[in-house]
Structure formats: C-alpha cells, structure tokens
A and B are shown apart, each in its own frame.
Chain A
Amino acid sequence: MTGPATIDEICVVAVAEAFRGDGEILCNPIGTVPIIGGRLARATFEPDMAMTDAVSVLAANILPVGDPDAPRVVEAWMPYRDMFDIVWSGRRHVVMGASQIDATGNQNLAAIGGWRMPKAQLLGLRGAPGNLVNHVTTYWVPNHSTRSFVPRVDVVSGPGYERVADLSEAVRNNHEIRRVVSNLGVFDFSNAERRMQVRSTHPGVTIGQVVEATGFELVVPDDVPESRLPTDEELHLIREVIDPTGLRRAEFPS
C-alpha cells in the first residue's frame, strides 16, 4: 500500500504524539485509532512504554490490531485487578472516547439527558472518574461537531480542569488532560485559564471549520500549525505492521 497519508493516519500520529515523553508507563489507549497510535509511539519514539494485548497480559512485542491469534511475547500478567493498581499508581496514560466534551475538559461517556432517567444511556462512568484524578488522560473524538464539543456536558464522567481546581493538591498534581484529538485537529489546555485551545488543525481543515464545529469558544492562538504528517517509517508501520487490514478507517464517517 502506498500513497499520501490519509486522515485516519494523521489522527493515528496525533494520538501517538500525545505519548511523547511518557517513558516507562502503561500506555493504555482504548479504541482502534488510539490503540494503533499507542503501538506506533512504542514502536518508534517511546520504546519503554508497556502495553496490554487488550485482554489480560502485557505484550513485549508490537501486536497487529484485530488479530487475537497474533503471537505475543508476554512480559506480565495483567488481570483487571492489577490494572486498578496501575491506575492508582499514576503510571498510566489512558486514551478514552468522549460522547461530549466541554471547554474545561469535562468528559461525558455516561448518558445523554442527565443521569437520573437518561434519554440515552451510554457507557456510564466506567473508569473515567478514577483515571482523571490519578494519571494522564487524552481524549479521542472521531466525530467533531457541536453535538460532541458542547458548552456543558450532560454528565461529568471524567472531570475537567474547572472541576478539580478546588480539590486536593495531590489530585491537581495527578490530573492532566494531555490532548484532545479529533478528526479535525488537535487541542490542549496549555493556557493559564486551562480552557481548550487549538494546537493544530489537520491538513485541509481550516480554523473556521473547527470553530464552526465546536459548541463553545475555543482559544485560538495567532499561529496555528498543521498537524504533522506521518513519516515514511510511520506509514510503513501503520499500513504493514500494526493495522494491515485497515481497521483504523472504520472509525471515520465515510
């Protein structure tokens, strides 16, 4: 497979970039594009990160996605109970989805229309409350729109910066929303107000499109770069090694 990088591959690299500098922690992306991004980061610039096989072990080799029979080099047993120990140890960087996210980074995975009697029950709180107050989190939102980037989330599963501002020093020190990666661009909270800020837009996407698709006021710096393109080595790893069957494309509206 050859040809220029496509949007799914640019998103994979944007997720991988979120792990840069993490070192020897558990890289724990959830979802296809995030998993490919995590495995790409480990195969290139973050070789010390540990990753699960998405079942119950840490695998020392780079596994292809969607192939439960791929041979794995097991380096540790990781049943769910031990996963919570890692969460609470802080040595983890998770990538989760967000059905809704707001300007201060509050995430909703739980329900649309409030939690009492929701209009639509979604995944629930899952591990988000514990993740956010223990270790680094990145969000992956493949459908950037005013329905997902909202002024106020219906339920706070993962608390954003405003919600933790009054909590203990330990919680504030543990809490970091490293990036929000969407199909339009990459965002972070690297300003003093800790409000969502545009970090880069994907090639072919204008700031105007991003602002239009966002239901709150984004912080837009004067100079917004384009998200970086995958290198040739990265394209090879994505296309031939980590995702040879192209599962990454399924998360994008066609």
Chain B
Amino acid sequence: MTEDDVVARLESGMTIGIGGWGSRRKPMSLVRAIVRSDLADLTIVSYGGPDIGLLCATGKARKIVYGFVSLDSIPLEPHFRIARQTGAVDFMELDEGAFYLGLLAAAHRVPFYPTRAGMGSDMMAMNPELRTVTSPYDDAEEFVAIPAFRIDVSLIHMNRADAAGNGQFLGPDLYFDDLFAKAADATFMSCERVVPTENLLDEGTFHTLKIPRLFVDGVVEAPRGAHFTECPPDYGRDEAFQREYAATARDAEAWDAFRTRYLEAPDHEAYLAAVDGRGGAGTPS
C-alpha cells in the first residue's frame, strides 16, 4: 500500500490512534498523508508528539485524547500549546498510566479498567465524562473507571515488517504500539523496510516480533517514515529539523513556508527530497 491508499480507507469524523511516544517512532509519512487529504473532524488518540501538533495546526483534529504531548528534546509541543491556549480543539487529557488502561480496555473489549490514578487530582474535573466504580469485594474501594478508547483505525510505524503484516521493533521500546493495533477496528503499519518473513529474525530475536498480522490490515514501506522523530537503530531524531518545525509556531511566515515545502510535498519521496535539499548544516536554532 501507499500512504494515500491508507488515507483512502479513512473517513472524516473517525477516531485515529497513533503509535509511538512523544517524538519517537511516529508514523509521520501517514500523518502527512492525512494532512494532505480532505479528511476533517478527526479525533486523535496518542501519546502525543508532532503528530498531534501537526494535526492541530492544520485543522484536521477536532478532538485530541492524550497522556501527554511533547517533542522530548523540546518539552512543550508548541503547536499543541497554541491549540490548547486558543481552545481550537476539544480534548481529553489523562494521566499517562491511565491512558494505557484506556488502550488496554479497548484491546481486551471490556468497558473500563479501574485505577487509583486520577483520584484527588484535577483529572476528574477536566474530564467530566469519567466515572468512578466501587470494588465489589470486601475492600469496597472507589476507583476511577478509565473507559475503553473507541478507535476506528490505528497507525503505527515499525522498523521492519513482512508483507503479511507482521511487524518488528528493533529499538529500545515498543511503546504501546501493539495495544494501538489491538484496540482499533483496523490498523495500518508503515515500516522502514519490508522483508521476507523468513528474514524477520535476521536483525532481532523473536522477542522483537510484537505485532502479529492478526491485528494489521495493511503495510506501507516508508524508509525514514518516522522522520523527523527518532527510529532507532535505523536513525536518530533530526533535531535541526525539529527545531525548524517548532519555530514555525511563533512565525506565520515560517509556518506557511514549512507547509508549502514539506507538508504539501505530494508523497513521502518528495518530502524526503525536500528534507535532504534544505542544505547547509541544519538550520539555526
């Protein structure tokens, strides 16, 4: 599949789960394909990074559901901040661990998982839809009931995959990508390289094969598909590019130029050509 084939399977108003974590192994070529499309009114569920920033800044997101939104080396995601400070998007902000339970409940097809996270904090006031549940056992303790996320389609990015949809992570952390795949009605996976199934153990042990094809509906080969987020061991974060992206939040002209140059590139290959053609030793910070 191509990125545009994936977008053709999406509809306005859908809830889209996005794997990765902050500015790490995000399916950015798929995110940019959404930006180029006519899709609107999306709800985005993510341990957020520039995926949420871009989908807010381009008006694609109507609502964002997140455990946090950060660019890691730049702690505050500037486009997300603008969206929150101007009230441009609806939002559901959860404790980072509580967010995990929303994914887990969806993956397990139960309505909620109980947790203490949120008791006593403003997480409850921020999310009036959250309810509590009392333990049916002798302790009778009251818990926050984190509702299962309803995700139509999840998008994840892996280091390697086979054509059948088995995915492999080779970096230090899977994050929650397997749960995004299991929690959604459909999952599309981009990867650095498609390899024959018999070669999946060439670069990692079977412990790295955490995305079975049962939960994947299509594979997109996208070398450097996570750019500018990191995708170790294939590549690190493009910090110079990330700084350039972050700076566009304070400068309308820079944002227009960024949009024209990178976001309107017709496909991933054209995007990479624009990235590589920007010349010089990075950009001023």
Could you list which residues of chain A lie within 8 angstroms of chain B, going by C-beta atoms? 55-57, 79-81, 84, 87-88, 110-111, 115-130, 132-134, 155-159, 163-164, 167-168, 170-171, 174
The minimal Cβ–Cβ distance linking A48 to chain B, given in whole angstroms, is 25
| Bound complex: CA A56 to CA B94 (Å) | 23
Q: Out of A117, A123, A127, name the residue touching B95 (CB < 8 Å).
A: A127
Chain A contacts for B125, CB-based, 8 A: 115
Residue on A with the closest CB to B117?
A130
| B75 near A130: Cβ-Cβ < 8 Å | no
Among A116, A122, A164, point to the contact of B76 (Cβ < 8 A): A122
Q: Which single residue of chain B is at the shortest CB-CB distance from A172?
A: B120
Q: What separation, in Å, do the CA atoms of A70 and B170 have in the docked complex?
A: 21
Pair A155/B122 contact, Cβ less than 8 Å? yes
Given A57-B172, A80-B21, 9 more pairs with CB closer than 8 A: A80-B173, A81-B176, A115-B122, A123-B68, A124-B69, A129-B123, A159-B120, A159-B121, A168-B141
In terms of DSSP, what is the predominant structure of the interface of chain A? loop
Contact A123 B121 (CB under 8 A): no
Q: How many residues of B contact A (CB 8 A)?
A: 40
Given A80-B21, A117-B84, A130-B96; A171-B122 close (CB under 8 Å) = no
B68–A121 touching, CB < 8 Å? no
Say yes or no: A129 contacts B172, CB within 8 Å. no
Contact A171 B116 (CB under 8 A): yes
9 interchain pairs, CB-CB under 8 A: A56-B173, A79-B172, A81-B174, A84-B100, A88-B115, A125-B122, A125-B126, A128-B121, A156-B120
B118 within 8 A of partner (CB): yes
Contact among B98, B121, B175 for A157, CB-based, below 8 A: B121
Q: Could you tell me if B96 and A127 are in contact, using CB atoms closer than 8 angstroms?
A: yes
Q: Mark B92-115, 1 if CB is under 8 A from A, else 0.
A: 011111101000000000000001
Nearest chain A CB to B231 CB, angstrom units: 15
Q: B: which residues have CB within 8 A of A?
A: 21, 66-70, 75-76, 80-81, 84-87, 93-98, 100, 115-123, 125-126, 139, 141-142, 172-176
Partner of A167, one of B115, B120, B175: B120
CB contacts between A and B, total, < 8 Å: 125
Which residue from A55, A120, A155 sits with its C-beta under 8 Å from B172?
A55
Q: Determine the chain B residues whose CB is within 8 A of the CB of A123 once the complex forms.
A: 68, 70, 75-76
**Known pairs A79-B172, A79-B175, A156-B122; A121 contacts B95 (CB<8 A):** no
A163 touches B120 (CB 8 A): yes
A-chain residues with CB within 8 Å of residue B126 when the two chains form the complex = 115, 125
Q: Please tell me if the beta carbons of A120 and B120 are within 8 angstroms of each other in the complex.
A: no
Across the interface, which residues of A come within 8 angstroms of B122, CB to CB? 110, 115, 125, 155-157
A101: min CB distance to chain B, Å: 14
**Contact between chains at B94 and A125 (CB < 8 Å):** yes
Task: Kindly report which residue of chain B lies nearest to residue A82, judged by CB atoms.
Answer: B173
A129 contacts B81, CB within 8 Å? no
Tell me, in angstroms, the Cα distance from A199 to B237 when the chains sit together: 43
Query: Judging by beta carbons under 8 Å apart, are B68 and A81 in contact?
Result: no
Q: How far is the CB of B167 from chain A (nearest CB, A)?
A: 16
A80 touches B121 (CB 8 A): no
B99 to chain A, nearest CB (A): 10
Q: In the complex, A121 Cα to B123 Cα: how many Å?
A: 15
Question: In the complex, are the beta carbons of A129 and B118 less than 8 A apart?
Answer: yes
Asked, given contacts A79-B174, A110-B122, whether A170 binds B141 with beta carbons under 8 Å apart, the answer is yes
* Complex: chain B residue closest to A175, CB-CB: B120
Residue of A55, A120, A128, A130 near B85 (CB, 8 A) is A120
Residues of A near B66 (CB, < 8 A) are 124
In the complex, residue of chain B having the shortest beta-carbon distance to the beta carbon of A159? B120
Give chain A nearest CB distance to B47 CB in angstroms: 8
Q: A163 CA to B76 CA in the complex, in Å?
A: 27
What CA separation (Å) do A163 and B100 show in the bound complex? 24
Q: How far is the CB of A216 from chain B (nearest CB, A)?
A: 19
A129 pairs with B95, CB closer than 8 A: yes
Chain B hits for A120, CB < 8 A: 81, 85
Residue of B nearest to A77 (CB): B172
Q: CA A238 – CA B125 in complex, angstroms?
A: 43
* CB nearest neighbor in A for B122: A156
A118 CB contact (under 8 Å) in B85, B173, B175: B85
A63 to chain B, nearest CB (A): 15
Minimum CB distance partner of A166 in chain B: B120
Contacts of A115 in B (CB 8 A): 93, 122, 125-126
A115 CA / B87 CA spacing, docked (Å)? 10
